Amino acid sequence: MPSKIPEGATRGWIVPIGGAENKENDRHILERFVRVSGGHDANIVVIPTASRMHETGPRYEKLFTELGAAQVATMDFDTRRDCQESGRLRRLEEATGIFFTGGNQLRLTTLLGGTPVAKMIRTRNASGVAVGGTSAGASILSEHMIAFGDEGSAVVSGSVRLAPGLGLTNRFIIDQHFRQRDRLGRLITALAYNPFAIGIGLDEDTGAFIGPDETIEVEGSGGVTVVDASEVTYSSISEVSEGQPVCMLGLRVHILTTGATFNLHTRLAEAAGLARSKE
């Protein structure tokens, strides 16, 4: 469950990124993550556990340092025992920003789920620390996580499998590499199981900066597809067999690009130019 925000505190930014963010010439997404993590005073911990590539952590460490963060450290986890080490917990407690790299989201959940590290990250975000992630690192941020599923636009019973995520919030379900891998169907199917949440489909090189006021602000070269199932009047998900198409009536869909916003509380979208940054 999401951690309770302490009295007098403001929750930190939650920043899911759709993967393949620009790391060379136009690094607006990562640059903004540094800003919401404290700017030149930012103290960022990079967690590359989802990836099997040894260079992933050091690469992001170098990027965030080049973008002006005061301190950046890589913290990998190979076993669940690692997640109980007091030294690692102290380092996370000092961080102003925590960033998960891409890879395999199930590797993240099986190693971190239910550990003191997972609890620490939820608590720190509730106390004001920014937490972000790209690709698999984006999927893990919410309470309900898409573990895997079929690609394509069809809404089909059984086409998606959900697993518990990190649990920073229960307000949304994230999918990444969204239009590049044609994942609209599996996101809507996930919402058929849980219409309370908002579906957020993140294109590559696109981030959703979710502020303390629960407003999504879009950054990057792609789009964010927001699927709102709160006004669904009918769903056949409980009636059809696995592999059969699902009927859903009353879905609302928004396509947001840079500068556009969506408020998770009011469920209202605004186009770029009408919205103001909350930083």
Residues forming the active site: 135, 177, 204
Three-state DSSP class for 65? helix
Amino acid, res. 133 = G
For the chain, how far is it from start to end, CA to CA, in angstroms?
A: 26
Number of H helices, E strands in the chain: 7, 17
Q: What are the DSSP E strand ranges found in 101-223?
A: 130-134, 144-149, 160-164, 172-175, 198-202, 206-210, 215-220
> Could you tell me if 260 and 218 are in contact, meaning their C-beta atoms sit under 8 angstroms apart?
yes
User: What distance in Å separates the CA atoms of residue 142 and residue 161, rounded to the nearest whole number?
Assistant: 15
User: What distance in Å separates the CA atoms of residue 228 and residue 34, rounded to the nearest whole number?
Assistant: 30
Q: Which two tokens stand for residue 210?
A: 């979710």
